């Protein structure tokens, strides 16, 4: 038999087997037994917290002909078996990461009109739902608003902020929390005893910390350890070897070097760690948790209180950590943790992990370096340039009629069209699909995905992403011509993309019009 990962092999089949999410499984289980189900659920939370697992159990439970006391599927009736072995098509799983277009959603909608042949419900599990395109979300919205009584939607996402509020408000939402180290260790012990494998607590504790709240990550790390350990007892040292991690004594040396301000020594230590084949990401994460322990000792342990049990370290290690902690004050340690926490997100997808880590080490050593000065200066320079230009050229509105572009398609110059009234703009919004379809605009695809709305006399166009918005802005003359041809009016419009770092909700047109920023725009 082919090897099955621990995560799959031990995937819970009942609500009561799901660990770490008891309030959620209890609530949903009782909805099943009392037949008070919502028609759409939204499961949110970081990866590996059990969203898909609970979705699968729920999908079987609503169909099972012999539901257990806690609302779980029996796992034995014809329906449960049919769903498990794939002969019954009551549960449809869609991965929105690879099926994100409007056509994919349309396929679902067309298919939903057929009742399930056996079982009670047709369940659609849409995983990573935030990947759907705007038009796909809109298509889905209509179905979720008025689904047939036999349909149930379960949407799962790791990025709630990217799910439109219109979808969110129509779902019953459950937030899946990160798993605690204890929960993860407990679960791993159970699995290992079922597998007949011994492991020491320190090894499991280490794996659980590495997994950072994700059961899936913990079990895949455990998979890796077991694969390299050929049935022997899994020790802490072996785990460090296999996972490319370093022992706590290395962090102790590192912090001593830092306290002496020895930059060269710190860089050399990093080099040694990497030369021994250790993973830089793991090193950084472990260093943060070591610093956090120092901080706890420094903040709470000074008055003689022994917190070694809280930290889960041996008495020897604890004595050493106390000596290291005494070299720093609470503020400094807090600042260090801040710098390295930033680093973890920076290096996650970077190819320059080592350089970024070295820069972070330099920052540790330079307390006076103000992190924001560079970016503040840069922003100031941009504002000054813009002000200069306003002084020189005055303020222009985008697509203003005084612009002399000489575009062949531009009727505004030849014979000025009357300015559009709100009704005109609304008409454009109502007929957006048709207008876009008829246009020869090379940005047709972008326009089709964009969200038009009325703000005063203006048309506001919110694009799916910044790149689309940029492309549309660059050829705004074309769009102007299309709108003029269509309405015989001069329609002013503004183009937005979901700005980086901003909550996507803020870019939705209704919120935009309430805030009313970007009133003055400079034409590039
Ligand atoms: Zn059943």
Q: How far is ligand 1, taken at its centre, from the CA of residue 116, in Å?
A: 16
Tokens of 262: 């020895």
pLDDT of residue 450: 86
| Environment class of 334 (CB within 10 Å of its CB; exposed 0-12, middle 13-18, buried 19+) | middle
CATH classification code of 6-176: 3.40.50.300
Residue (of 7, 381, 413, 41) closest to 214 by Cα position: 7
Strands 451-455 and 458-462: antiparallel
> Separation of 77 CA from ligand 1 center, angstroms?
4
Distance 8 CA to ligand 1 centre (A): 20
Distance from the alpha carbon of residue 63 to the mean position of ligand 1, in angstroms: 7
34 Cα: distance to centroid of ligand 1 (angstroms): 16
CA distance 215 to 179: 7
Specify the pLDDT at position 437: 80
Please give the distance, rounded to the nearest whole angstrom, from the Cα atom of residue 75 to the centre of ligand 1.
Answer: 5
* CA 53 to ligand 1 center in whole angstroms: 17
CATH number for the region 181-243 comes to: 1.10.8.60
H helices of 276-352, where? 280-300, 308-311, 315-325, 330-348
9's tokens: 């092999």
**Ligand 1 center to residue 104 CA distance, Å?**
30
Q: Ligand 1 centroid to 56 CA: how many Å? A: 13
Residues 187 and 11 sit within 8 Å (Cβ to Cβ): no
Task: Map out the domains of the chain as residue ranges.
Answer: 6-176, 181-243, 248-369, 422-502
Whole-number Å distance, alpha carbon 119 to ligand 1 midpoint, is 10
Q: What is the DSSP letter of 370?
A: -
The CA distance from 326 to 35, in Å, is: 60
**Tokens for 396?**
């222009």
Spatial distance between the Cα atoms of 89 and 329, rounded to a whole number of angstroms: 61
Cα of 110 from ligand 1 centre, angstroms: 28
Distance, CA 58 to ligand 1 centroid (Å)? Answer: 11
Contact 214, 48 (CB under 8 A): yes
Q: Which pTM was predicted?
A: 0.59
Ligand 1 centroid to residue 32 C-alpha, Å: 13
CATH value of 422-502 in 1.10.3720.10, 4.10.91.20, 3.30.300.180, 3.40.50.300: 3.30.300.180
Q: What is the pLDDT of residue 244?
A: 80
Residue 68 alpha carbon to ligand 1 centre in Å: 8
Q: Please identify, in words, the CATH class of the domain defined by 248-369.
A: mainly alpha
Angle at which helices 476-487 and 466-474 cross, to 10° = 70
Beta bridge partner(s), residue 462? 451, 496
- Distance from Cα 82 to the centre of ligand 1, integer Å: 9
CA of 155 to the centre of ligand 1 (A): 23
Q: How many angstroms separate the alpha carbon of residue 33 from the centre of ligand 1?
A: 13
Distance from the CA of 65 to the center of ligand 1, in angstroms?
Answer: 5
Ligand 1 centroid to 72 CA: how many Å?
Answer: 8
* Closest to 19 in 3D by CA, of 184, 247, 190, 158: 184
122 CA distance to ligand 1 middle (Å): 15
Q: What is the whole-number distance in angstroms between the Cα of residue 174 and the centre of ligand 1?
A: 24
145 C-alpha to center of ligand 1: Å? Answer: 29
Q: 39: closest CA among 135, 112, 129?
A: 112
Along the 524 residues of the chain, how does pLDDT read in single tens digits?
567 899 999 999 999 999 999 999 999 999 999 999 999 999 999 989 999 999 999 999 999 999 999 999 999 999 999 998 888 889 999 999 888 888 888 888 888 888 888 889 999 999 999 999 999 999 899 889 889 999 999 999 999 999 999 999 999 999 999 888 889 999 999 999 999 999 999 899 889 887 878 999 999 999 999 988 877 899 988 898 888 888 888 999 999 999 988 999 999 999 999 888 788 988 998 899 899 999 998 887 556 677 776 676 667 778 889 999 999 988 889 989 999 999 998 898 888 899 999 999 998 887 644 455 655 665 676 677 778 777 777 766 554 444 444 444 444 445 678 888 888 888 888 888 888 887 776 778 888 888 888 888 889 888 888 778 888 887 788 888 888 888 888 888 888 887 643 444 433 333 333 333 343 344 43
**Distance (Å) from CA 121 to ligand 1 centroid:** 13
* SS (HEC) of 169-187: CCCEEEECCCCCHHHHHHH
């Amino acid at each position: 038999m082919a090897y099955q990962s621990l995560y799959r092999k031990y995937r819970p089949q009942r609500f009561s087997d799901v660990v770490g999410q008891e309030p959620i499984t209890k609530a949903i289980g009782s909805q099943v037994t009392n037949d008070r189900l919502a028609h759409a659920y939204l499961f949110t939370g970081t990866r590996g917290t059990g969203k898909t697992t609970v979705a699968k159990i729920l999908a079987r439970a609503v169909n099972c002909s012999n539901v257990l006391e806690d609302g779980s599927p029996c796992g034995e009736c014809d329906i449960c078996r049919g769903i498990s072995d794939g002969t019954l098509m009551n549960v449809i799983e869609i991965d929105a990461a690879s099926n994100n277009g409007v056509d994919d959603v349309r396929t679902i909608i067309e298919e939903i009109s057929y009742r399930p042949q056996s079982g009670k419900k047709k369940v659609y599990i849409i995983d990573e739902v935030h990947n759907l395109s705007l038009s796909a979300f809109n298509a889905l919205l209509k179905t979720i608003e008025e689904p047939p009584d036999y349909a149930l939607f379960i949407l799962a996402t790791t990025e709630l902020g990217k799910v439109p509020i219109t979808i969110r408000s129509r779902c019953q939402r459950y937030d899946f929390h990160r798993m605690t180290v204890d929960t993860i260790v407990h679960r791993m012990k159970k699995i290992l005893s079922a597998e007949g494998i011994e492991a020491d607590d320190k090894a499991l504790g280490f794996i659980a910390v590495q997994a950072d709240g994700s059961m899936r990550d913990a079990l895949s790390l455990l998979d890796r350890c077991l694969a390299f350990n050929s049935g022997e007892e899994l020790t802490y040292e072996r785990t460090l070897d296999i996972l490319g991690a370093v022992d706590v004594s290395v962090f102790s040396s590192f912090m001593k070097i830092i306290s002496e301000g020895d930059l060269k020594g710190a860089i050399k230590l990093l080099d040694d760690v990497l030369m021994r084949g250790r993973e830089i990401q793991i090193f950084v994460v472990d260093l943060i948790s070591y610093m956090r322990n120092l901080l706890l000792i420094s903040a709470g342990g000074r008055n003689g209180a022994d917190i070694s049990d809280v930290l889960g370290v041996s008495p020897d290690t604890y004595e050493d950590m106390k000596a290291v902690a005494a070299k720093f004050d609470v503020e400094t340690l807090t600042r260090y943790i801040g710098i390295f926490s930033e680093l973890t997100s920076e290096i996650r997808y970077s190819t320059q992990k080592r350089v970024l880590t070295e820069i972070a080490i330099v920052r540790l050593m330079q307390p006076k370096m103000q992190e924001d000065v560079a970016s503040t200066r840069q922003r100031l320079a941009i504002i000054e340039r813009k002000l200069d230009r306003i002084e020189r050229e005055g303020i222009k509105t985008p697509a203003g009629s005084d612009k002399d572009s000489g575009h062949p398609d531009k009727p505004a110059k030849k014979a000025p069209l009357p300015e559009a009234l709100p009704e005109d703009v609304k008409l454009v919004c109502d007929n957006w699909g048709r207008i876009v379809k008829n246009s020869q605009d090379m940005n047709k695809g972008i326009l089709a995905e964009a969200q038009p709305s009325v703000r005063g006399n203006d048309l506001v166009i919110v694009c799916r992403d910044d790149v689309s918005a940029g492309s549309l802005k660059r050829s705004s003359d074309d769009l102007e011509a299309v709108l003029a041809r269509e309405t015989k009016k001069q329609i002013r419009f503004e183009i937005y993309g979901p700005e980086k770092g901003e909550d996507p909700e803020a870019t939705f047109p209704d919120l935009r019009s309430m805030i009313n920023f970007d009133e003055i725009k400079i034409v590039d």
